[in-house]
Amino acid sequence: MKYPLLSCKPPLRTRHEAMCLELTAIPTAAGREQRVQRFMDQWLNRRKASLKWKRDGDGNLLITSKKRSRNRPLLFTAHLDHPGFVVAEKIDNRTVVAEFRGGVLDPYFENARVEFFNSADTQFKGTVKELHSAEPFKRATIQFTKNAEELAVGDVGRWAFPKATISGRGRKRLFKTNACDDLAAAAAALAAFDRIRKRPGMEHVGILFTVAEEVGFVGAIGAAQSGFVPKNARLICLENSRASDECPIGGGPVVRVGDRLSVFNPILTNLISECATEYAKQRPHFIWQRKLMVGGACEATAFSNFGFESTCLCLPLGNYHNMDRIDETKAGERPAALGREFVSTDDFHGLIELLEVVAHGIAKTPESALRELLLMLRKRNSVVFEGR
């Protein structure tokens, strides 16, 4: 298959990077994704002439074209939350108890600096003073440096970091920001979809943004069970997955074949791999990876187990869940330290390009080339049964 030139010119790449920096710096937590939802509403309202969207009771957001398509729906999927704090109880004007919704090891909480935001986006800086075991989420006592009377139960907090930046050169040029997981993938989905939706024959492509992924795929499971997502949809779940020596940052976006819980749909995974392989032959600049990646779990596992054809594309991620050098910390070789998450800007642009490749390739190739090869081998070599 002959693919069109899909890479973005420098001015558009710059706009995509600016959107990624803005989106990944927005405070969010499971069940408290309202600020990110407002960002999405603003993005959508600028495109309301051609797009339609709806939300379910959980807050999952489904974006599709107003034009009808005979093709099966293809949905890019990303979640809008990141591990973070939610105020559960106010002790006094300078102290709260907050739930932590997400997976971070206990040593990283010790005397950690945090920042909370009220409904008016006023910022309150503080420190974790104590960590408590609780169900369903651990709780932390937070003491603030100034009067925090304006904070309310339900307000969001996160680790306190310097402003999000882009630094480095070449494949070591990195986004360093609060929450790459999963808002960098959400930014890539918006960027790719914005280009894809303008092309004829791409009306079947859409986006599904889910909520509360970090506490067990809660939003995705609800969307899968309720009928909110069309049952014949193919879902490409986007993630930021912990990098490793075998899957390095700067090595390109990853076709993720599975996670620590399951392997994903082989037909869709293979079809995407075939698209990427063919495209890389035509565009030598394009690099990508294919890995299992067992560090963490992905919504593709949830959707697959509820009967959907789903798989995953991801960005190799540094400082997973803001935990710096997690392996050394777990081994007792260094004290716990928090850090901004980071991904390669080249990997980010590569993911946008790969999403465009997949949308184009799947639309033109209804069946897997691997399946066609297997059928050809059966037909050609069935001669072995003659004369039995």
pLDDT digits (tens, 9 = 90+) for 82-113: 999 999 999 999 999 999 999 999 999 999 99
Considering the chain, what is the average pLDDT of its residues?
A: 94
Where do we find the tokens 């809008």? 80
Same domain, 289 and 358: yes
pLDDT value at position 77?
98
Compute the average pLDDT of residues 352-377.
79
Q: How confident is the model at residue 367 (pLDDT cuts 50, 70, 90)?
A: low
In this prediction, residues 159-166 reach a mean pLDDT of: 97
Q: Are 249 and 138 in the same domain?
A: no
Predicted structure pTM score: 0.93
In a domain, 347, yes or no: yes
Verify that 237 and 105 share a domain, yes or no: no
> Is residue 366 predicted with pLDDT exceeding 70?
no
pLDDT at 25: 98
pLDDT at 226: 96
Q: Could you tell me if residue 339 is inside a domain?
A: yes
pLDDT at 370: 67
What CA–CA distances, in Å, run from 234 to 4, 76, 386? Answer: 23, 9, 41
274 Cβ partners below 8 Å, 6+ apart? 361, 365, 368, 369, 370
206 and 148 within one domain: no
Of 294, 279, 160, 282, nearest to 239 (Cα)? 294
Mark whether 192 and 124 lie in a shared domain. Answer: no
Residue 363 has pLDDT above 80, yes or no: no
| CATH classification at residue 211 | 3.40.630.10
146, 261: one domain: no
Residue 137 has pLDDT above 80, yes or no: yes
In a domain, 377, yes or no: no
User: Which domain does 152 fall in, by range?
Assistant: 84-159
Among 159, 175, 210, the domain-final residue is: 159
Residue 217 included in any domain: yes
Residue 320 lies in a domain: yes
Indicate the residue type of 8.
Answer: C
Domain presence at residue 275: yes
- pLDDT band at 8, cuts 50/70/90? confident
Residues 182, 202 within the same domain: yes
Q: Say if residue 203 is in the same domain as residue 70.
A: yes
Does residue 71 sit in the same domain as residue 122?
no
Same domain, 140 and 270: no
Of the listed ranges 131-140, 141-150, 366-375, the least confidently predicted one is 366-375
From 130, 177, 136, 186, select the one nearest 158 (Cα to Cα): 177
Q: CB-hemisphere CA count at 13 Å for 10?
A: 0
In a domain, 385, yes or no: no
Q: Tell me the pLDDT band of 309, cut-offs 50, 70 and 90.
A: very high
**Residue 334: per-residue pLDDT:** 93
Which value, in Å, is the radius of gyration of the alpha carbons in the chain?
Answer: 22
Same domain, 270 and 172: yes
The rounded distance, in Å, linking the Cα atoms of 101 and 121 is 20
Average pLDDT over residues 255-274: 95
- The reported pLDDT for the residue numbered 387 is 77
**Residue at 138 is within a domain:** yes
Q: What is the pLDDT of residues 185-202, one digit of tens each?
A: 999 999 999 999 999 999
